[in-house]
Each structure stands twice: as C-alpha cells, then as structure tokens.
Structure 1
Amino acid sequence: MTSPPALGNGSRLDFNSPLSEDRAARLVTSLAAPSPATILDLGCGWAELLLRLLAAAPVATGTGVEVHGPDLARARTNAAARKLADRVSFVEGPAESHPDPADVVISIGAFHAFGTVAEALKALHSRVNPGGRLLFGAEFWERPPPADRLAGMWPGASLDDCTDLAGLVDQAIVAGFRPLQVQTASTAEWEDFESGLAADVEEWLASHPAHPEAATVREKLDAQRGMWLRGHRGFLGFAYLTLAVS
C-alpha cells in the first residue's frame, strides 16, 4: 500500500522559500556580476539557488551546508545532472559549524542556526570576504498581527519573533553591512510556495481517500493550511536583502 509523501518535503518546489523564477534570476544575475570565486550557502536545502549561481559564475566554486540529509541528496543529484558536481561540495551539518568565508554568502530562512536575526547577521559578517556580498532572507511583519491571527500561526508565535522591514534592514546595518537591494516576496510568491509545500500530499490524499493514514494526513494538511490562511497570510513578509560588507 502506497504511503503518503512527507509533508513539506518540497518535491514540487524549485526553492524552499517564497521565491519566483523571475526574482531568482535577477538575484543570480546581481550576485554573479562581480565574478565571485567562492560561494557559500548556509542552510542550503537542496541548493537550487547555489547551483544557479554557480552556473552564472563559471569561475566560482561553491559549498552548501545543510542538516537535512534528503535535501543534500537532491542537491547532489541536481549538481551532477547540471555538470556542476566538480565545482560544488556539500556538507551535512549545522551552518554555525562552517566558519570559512566566501565572496558570496547565502542565508535564506536559516538565521535560526545562529540564534536571533541580529546574532545571525553578526556571525555572517565574518563569513563574507572583504568586498563580498551576503544574500540574507528572513521573515518580517508586514503589519503587526492581532492576537487572534498570531494565535493561528506557528506554536508559540510572538510579536517579538519578527521586526518590521525597516527594523530588519537596520539590524543588517548595525552588523556592519550596507543594503544594496531590499526586496520582499509578493502575495503570488507566498501562494505558490505554500500551495507547493502541500501539493504532492494533497494529490496523494485525493487518490487515497480510504487509506488507513488518510485521516491523519488530512488533519496535518488542514492544520498547515490554517497556519497560513488563518494565521500569517497578509501579516508575515519575507525579505531578500542583498548586503555589502561596509
């Protein structure tokens, strides 16, 4: 009997964040323009952005660091298929344990590896070579959520979990960076991301409504969707900051 796929495995997503093809292409073009020699992606997941950046920066070598083994397996498969395996290495482990600096450092949705946003930005500053760039992706409040919407988000959600966009940029400046680009995910990018996270499991459920695990899977899907539609939708933003070392 066919078991359900793991919820949130990202098999239907290109990127493990609310990121469109158009925005990804523009970010890659911008980061590749200075012809970086080394690229480091901390919390790389399946490393889609890292691989695209390596393809756009043909003299560069890259390193992806990730704690989730299945994501790294996908990354290695994709690197081999794109003939990039000789220019990229993957390390299974926590981001904070990899101190080696690079010309371009990527940290998208992975600041928790270092603690708070402020602590992450401070730690990442030392990992960017002089004249280099950091692409930093993190959540912020589009507007402060009321108590009922906050209660519908992730367990233990608090107003203190995020700042507003201006506060996020201020934290980058305090850490020693200068903001070259400030971009935020659109509603469409959020919808594609949240829908994509559940798509394979929803399709499995539609095809296996009488499966012994169907009720449990349905409950998990409904809870995940509720956190989005009854929780953070319209309140939680996601920023992509391209930062220079000042």
Structure 2
Amino acid sequence: MTTEHAKPARLSRLTFHGPLSETRAAAIVARLAPARPRTVLDIGCGWGELLLRVLDAVPEARGTGIDVAEEDLARGRGHAEARGLGGRAEFVAESATGTGRGPADLVLCLGASHALSPAERPTAEALRELRRLVADGGRVLLGEGFWERTPTEAELAGMWPGARRDDHAGLGELLDLAVAAGFRPEWTETASLAEWEEFESAYQADQEVWLAGHPDHPRAAALRERLDRHRGQWMSYRGVLGTAYLTLVPVTR
C-alpha cells in the first residue's frame, strides 16, 4: 500500500558524489595529510566526505565546505557531528563565485569547477580562481571531467542537452591549463570504469528500487522519464567522459 507522499531516499548509496572509490580516496588522503594543512576549503562540497576524511587524518586542521545545496550541507553537518568533527568542520550555504574564503592550505574542488566561474566553459577560469584561493606551499585537489577520446556526433547527441566537443579538454590539455594557471602537477590519476559504474549505479539505485515498487504512484511517470533519460545519457558518455584527479602545487609568487 503506497501513499501519495511516499518518496525514495536521496543518494543514500553514494559515499562520494563522483566516481571515487574507497581505495583511491584513502590514497589521496594519505598523500595530502603529511603536508599538515591547517586550513581546508572545499568548493562545491556537497556533504564533504573527503573534507571530513582529511580533517580526521590531520587533527590540527579546520575545514570549510561551501555549496548551495542545503540538503547536502545538512548531511555533511550530521556526518561531522557523528565523527566528532563538528567543532572543526563548517558547512556554509553560499556561492563559491568570487569567494573571499581563501587562501587555504588545501583546496578541494571535486566536480565543481562550474561553482567558481559563470563561464560556459569554466575550467580555465576556475583554475585561475583555485590559484587565488590556495596558499603558497599548499595543494589543490581538482576533480575535473575530460574526454577519454573525442566523442562522435552520435555520442554527443545522446549526452546532456547541447553537449559539444569543447565542453571538455583532453587530459593533456587539462594539465596544460593547470600549468598555465600557475600550478605544477604533483600527481595525475583518472577514475576507472569500475569507479564510474559504481557512481552511476549508486546515483540512481534508490530511485530505481522505489520506482519498481511504486509503478502506479502519482510521481512515477515523471521519475521514470528522468531515470530513463539519465541512463541513456550515461550510456552515451560511458567510456568517453573521464574524471581526472589532479593534485596541484602552486608555483610560488
């Protein structure tokens, strides 16, 4: 028996809001923690899972996550309190565009370069902003999309509305943009297909299971259309769109 107000859980299967495995996240934290950052800024943080893991690994650090999604921020605050990090982690509802919260010793920007720039193709400007926001001697961890290979016209047509080849750079060009913005790449790694499949499956799983059990619910038709559309988009960029995780060192000014 269903009610009109029943709805699926939201993203409960996701640990990170992106194609990032537990193994890779642990390696990233292990690489960033020895620098002992005292201030951590997370741009477009969502619920800030990686931010909290850095704070847990560096007891003297304090962190601020900024995002415009209050539901995700509330989830982050709850996780921080549950882990005893509430006094060192702040989650703030605000835009990152033009933010004055830097410079920080460590800046995280995972899949959120668009939050730093209103430009239609924000990567280059976002990298310049990240250089402004990180302290000399600090680090930036950038998670950014790139083309694994040049997409075909048919693949582009199946992706997000208006998808174009210049929406993303190749990996080499992305690294060149980082260097041009005032960084040297300390570490370059890319999400595996398995990480992408885990992310995309977990992204929809709550709603898919709910829809299977509530096919006649008043919300079902709209949800079914959205899930089917996103699955079609994923099948179009699967193996074409990648995610790079770049650990960047700012060139001292």
Q: Which TM-score band (shorter chain)?
A: over 0.9
Range moving further from structure 2, 205-214 or 234-243: 205-214
- Of the three residues 123, 143, 150, the one matched with 1:117 is 123
Residue among 1, 6, 10 paired with 1:3 = 6
Helix, strand or coil at the partner of 2:239: coil
Aligned residue among 195, 205, 212 for 2:201: 195
Counterpart for residue 165 of structure 1: 171
192-201 or 209-218, which deviates more: 209-218
Which letter maps to 1:23?
R
Secondary structure of 1:31's aligned partner: helix
- 1:15 aligned partner: 16
What residue number does 2:145 align with? 139
Quote the residue 2:250 is aligned against: 245
Cα deviation code 1:169-211 (max 9, x no counterpart): 0000000000011010000000000000100001101111221
Structure 2 gaps of 5+ residues are none
Instruction: Map 1:15-164 onto structure 2 (within 5 A).
Output: 15-99=16-100, 100-113=102-115, 114=117, 115=119, 116-164=122-170
Q: Give, in whole Å, the separation in 2 of the partners of 1:10 and 1:137.
A: 20
Q: Could you tell me how far apart the structure 2 residues matched to 1:3 and 1:141 are?
A: 39
Q: CA deviation at 1:5?
A: 3.0
Counterpart of 2:188 in structure 1 is: 182
State the alpha-carbon separation in 1 of the partners of residues 74 and 232 from structure 2. 31
TM-score, normalising length: structure 2? 0.94
Displacement of 1:97 in angstroms is 4.0
Cα distance in 2 for residues equivalent to 1:183 and 1:236: 14
What fraction of aligned residue pairs are identical, expressed as a percent? 54
Letter in 1 for 2:150: P
Find the aligned partners of 1:64 and 1:153 in 2 and give their Cα distance.
30
Shift of 1:165: 0.2
Counterpart residue number, 1:233: 238
User: After TM superposition, which residue ranges in structure 1, 4 or more long, deviate above 6 angstroms?
Assistant: none
Give, in whole Å, the separation in 2 of the partners of 1:97 and 1:72.
20
| Number of matched pairs | 243
One-letter amino acid of the structure 2 residue matched with residue 232 of structure 1? Y
TM-score by length of 1: 0.96
Which is worse superposed, 64-73 or 107-116? 107-116
* SS of match in other structure, 2:163: coil
Q: Can you list the C-alpha shifts for 1:210-243, whole angstroms capped at 9, x where unaligned?
A: 21222221111111100001x1011101000000
* 3-state SS, counterpart of residue 104 of structure 1: strand
- Cα distance in 1 for partners of 2:96, 2:30 equals 25
